[in-house]
Amino acid sequence: MTGLRPLPTGLGREIARGLVATLPMMISAFPFGLIFGALATANGLSPLAVMGMSLFVFSGSAQFVAVILLGTGSALGVIWLATLILNLRHLLYAATLVDHVRHLNQVWRFGLAAWLTDETFAVMERRYRLEGGGENAHWYYLASCLGMYVNWAFWTYVGVIVGTRFEDIGNWGLEFAMVVTFIGIVMPALRASPYWLAAITAGSVATLGYQLPYKLGLLLGALAGIAAGLALQEWQRRRRIGELAS
């Protein structure tokens, strides 16, 4: 009699730990899957198109923007540009994590990059910072990615169903969960003054640029925050060198 071979102990443990670490993010993301499914359906997209977006685009903020712009009759070029700008932050995520996945083959790197989200980035940045890499760390990473992916697709599907019955679901105030999620992502990373300066600068610039089209304020805020944090970090480094030399 044959059966499924169990995963090696190390792999199974990393997968389980990755899912557990991502569980709070999955819980906080479910209202947005519901709202997206309902909103997209209300804007005239078919259930197949809505599910296709969640399965193949898999970017909550970009999907919301795309659906809103589709509802206003915007040109496809405008929609493409807006979602591209909104997702440029993933280049910053990739630059942070690349050294930890450089040893993996191209299939692994492509898959992990395609499934990378804000939530998984927060989970993996903390994992690598506190524990380093490790032989099976990429399975932890994959578990986080797939946990978020399946969770988003499932709640989108539920949203499509619920959205056809409760057209005012977008007014239920469920969006508070995303605010809490991003506070939880940012606060543990504020470990030193450069990080605080980066966060304050990014938030201030993004707020000032809130009225800019295509979420440009978000991109400008991210770039300004990075520049400010790096500048302060470099100034502190040079100051320490000067103190040691004197």
- 3-class DSSP state of 211: coil
Q: Encode pLDDT of 26-47 as tens digits.
A: 998 888 888 888 888 877 789 9
Residue 199's pLDDT is what? 86
93-97, 105-109, 149-153: least confidently modelled range: 93-97
Where in the chain are the domains? Answer: 9-177, 190-246
What angle (nearest 5°) sits at the alpha carbon of residue 225, between those of residues 129 and 131? 0
Residue 119 main-chain phi, psi, to 5 deg: -70, -45
* Per-residue pLDDT, 168: 67
Cα dihedral sign, 141-145-148-154: negative
Query: What number is the average pLDDT over the span 125-148?
Result: 90
pLDDT at 153: 96
Q: What is the 3-state secondary structure (H, E, C) of 52-110?
A: HHHHHCCCHHHHHHHHHHHHCCCCHHHHHHHHHHHCCHHHHHHHHHHHHHCCCCHHHHH
